[in-house]
Amino acid sequence: MILFTKRGLNLGGVSFCLSVSLSLLMVFWIAGLTAAQASEMASNNKSDERPNIVIILADDLGWGDVGYHGSDIQTPHIDRLAKEGAKLNRFYATPFCSPTRAALMTGRDPLKLGVAYSVLMPWENGGVSLDEHFLPQSFQAAGYNTAMVGKWHLGHTIEQHTPNARGFDLFYGHMHTQVSYFDHQIANGHDFQENGKPVDHNGEYATDVHGAQAARFITDLRDKTKPFLLYVPFLAPHSPMEAPEALKDKYSSRLDLPGSTRKTYAAMVDSMDQAIGKVLTALDEEGVADNTIVFFFSDNGGFENYGSDNGPYRGGKLEVYEGGIRVTAVMRWPEKLAAGSEVDEIVSVMDLLPTLTHAAGVENGTEKKIDGVNRWSTITGEKVSKRKGALYFASNIPVYNKFQLGVIDGKWKLVQNIDHKMTSTDFDNQLFDLDADPYEKNDLTEDYPNVVKKLNKKINKWRSLHPIGGSYVKINPHPGWRAPKDYADVIIPAEKIEEEPHKGYGTLESMVLQRRYGEKGRITYE
């Protein structure tokens, strides 16, 4: 029998004199421990409430090549994102691969980075400057688990240019573009790796591997105590035009003249959509879909010669007409964005870094002034605003010394076509009112000469920001170049690379000479 006395407890006649002060101390200690544990749990829960980010990037997808834009190609998973999220109807990328990826990663104008005119080829050693801050570095610093599965295309020769050095905990994919889908070769070298080590998926269709590995990260590989950033830049539907036969047969009714790749192109888009479906299913199965921002877009318009459709817009890949730069884009976040909503204001690929970091409550971490702006309130509809400032576009592919340039400033758009020859230059302007003529059918150059003059000056001033050592079209390698047997084996370790860039030779360092370059570009890097 237990008896309570004034002195303490009596258990079967045995007295235990318990100090009241000790008892109270124990109570307070336990209470304090419980409070500390509760505080820690609350802190963890608060951290866990930050949204996951999944960025899915198609390569050369035409505006009209998704189901919700009326295509005969079956894209139920992309269509699902459009139905459950917000469609960005005026989302602008660049005319081709590398500059769009550079703008996405840095929030800066790719012309300033030296990658606006051309893509980075396997036979080139360049990449985005090591002075630039990348989007995954922002999320990594904030405690996110970061991963990339797919095509990089932003530097491949030195370790500091690789995805792992730029903020991705996991990289599973390719350093280059134009990688073949079944044997994963580019320019005679193998290009498929995991964190710098070659991986062998010979015979497996690359798009299937991308989807499976991205889903595997979500379900098995990530640290589930942290939010995550997953970047999935597919090779598809970029050339080489290759697809599983069964999928090509699915589109046998497509008009496919000799030499045409329309069936193959449709199959490649279909395969990519199925891979996206694997990613969405993984989010559903893990129970994290509602608090995950999924952003899907294409790096540029489709290449019509391979069977894409950019209609109703004019032009396509490599061009600064709307069909080359206005791309399919969808954002889904069930907890924050209204399903089926549409955004009709301009959003640029440069805006994604400041917009996504803001949405996630993450410091963007950039030291340089970025060109992108936070468009979150416009996307959510909380405070819709027009994007301030002009947007510029450039292309120097694939013809040497031939350029197409463009600027959108308010309702006006100017397109410049420049062809430098040995003894002359062909030059012409085209002016469009995008509010009245979004399909660019009516050239208003003769009607508004003052507008043309003003926009020409803007383009020339903008071109002067390009580093003269930046990328220009080099469609073929130097005759002395040879591909490595495996690109993962030839990356130079960081400790063997000088930290500071070389400034150039002799008078090229002179600011006097810089002033003479004008619109040709700048000698010093910003």
Instruction: Given the residues 69, 97, 156, 210, select the one marked as catalytic.
Output: 97
* Residues 290 and 334: beta-carbon distance below 8 Å: yes
* Dihedral angle of Cα 8, 11, 14, 17, to the nearest 10 degrees: -20
What does the alpha-carbon distance between residue 447 and residue 433 come to, in Å, rounded to a whole number?
A: 11
CA 420/CA 403 separation, integer angstroms: 8
Residue of 370, 293, 283, 378 whose CA lies nearest to 331: 293
What contacts 103, CB < 8 A, 6 or more positions away? 93, 94, 109, 110, 348, 349, 350, 372
Cα end-to-end span (Å), the chain? 85
The helix/strand/coil state of 404 is strand
Cis previous bond, 240, omega within 30: yes
Rounded Cα distance between 300 and 316, Å, is: 8
Contact (CB, 8 A) for 331 and 86: yes
Nearest to 92 by CA among 463, 390, 433: 390
Tokens of 265: 């192109």
**Half-sphere exposure at residue 131, Cβ-oriented, CA atoms within 13 angstroms:** 12
Beta bridge partners of 394: 405
- Known catalytic residue at 17: no
97 part of the active site: yes
Are the CB atoms for 255 and 262 separated by under 8 Å? yes
Contacts of 240 by beta carbon, 8 Å cutoff, 6+ apart = 178, 180, 181
DSSP structural state of residue 294? E
Q: How big is the CA angle at 287 (ends 282 and 293), to the nearest 5 degrees?
A: 75
Helices (H), 68-148: 76-84, 97-106, 110-113, 135-141
Cα separation, 236 vs 328, in Å, equals: 15
Q: What does the block give as tokens for 3? A: 């008896």
Euclidean distance between CA atoms 258 and 13, whole angstroms: 104
Q: How far apart are CA 60 and CA 48, in angstroms?
A: 35
In 271-371, the DSSP E strands lie at 292-298, 329-332, 341-343, 347-348
HSE, side-chain direction, 13 A CA sphere, residue 210: 32
- Of 77, 153, 176, 238, catalytic: 153
Active centre residues (catalytic): 97, 153
